[in-house]
């Protein structure tokens, strides 16, 4: 059982970090936090899309790909704070639900 939990954490630690950062964005932070959040979610979303695609989970690949594009800091979407807070919550929920999706990294 302990090994199963360790394996699950090894496969999902980056999604847990994304959830924490996204929910943290609901508080008042300096602008730099939100810039960091964009980079973090871009990377984690793109990596999650890659993993899902490699495991033929095309729905998840599209969802994470869209999330990576939405949060990208290079060509940003300019939305109101309230809209971003709603998107942050939805993205955190998506990452949370995906924690229970069974696909593994292929080595």
Q: What is the DSSP string of 11-23?
A: HHHHHHHHHHHHH
Q: Is residue 40, in this structure, part of any structural domain at all?
A: yes
Q: Is residue 106, in this structure, part of any structural domain at all?
A: no
Q: Is residue 89, in this structure, part of any structural domain at all?
A: yes
Determine the structural domain holding residue 81 and report its residue range: 2-98
Determine the pLDDT at residue 101: 78
What mean pLDDT do residues 41-66 have?
94
21-38: pLDDT as tens digits:
999 999 999 999 999 999
- Structure tokens of 90? 């939805």
Q: Is residue 17, in this structure, part of any structural domain at all?
A: yes
Tally of domains in the chain: 1
2-24 and 81-98 helices, crossing angle to 10°: 170
Residue found by looking up tokens 């942050």 in the block: 88
Q: Is residue 50, in this structure, part of any structural domain at all?
A: yes
């Amino acid at each position: 059982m302990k090994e199963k939990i360790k394996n699950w954490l090894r496969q999902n630690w980056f999604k847990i970090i994304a959830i924490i950062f996204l929910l943290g964005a609901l508080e008042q932070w300096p602008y730099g936090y939100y810039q960091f959040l964009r980079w973090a979610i871009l990377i984690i979303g793109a990596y999650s899309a890659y993993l899902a695609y490699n495991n033929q989970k095309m729905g998840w690949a599209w969802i994470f790909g869209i999330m990576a594009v939405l949060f990208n800091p290079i060509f940003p979407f300019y939305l109101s704070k309230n809209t971003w807070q709603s998107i942050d919550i939805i993205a955190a929920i998506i990452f949370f639900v995906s924690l229970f999706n069974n696909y593994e990294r292929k080595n």
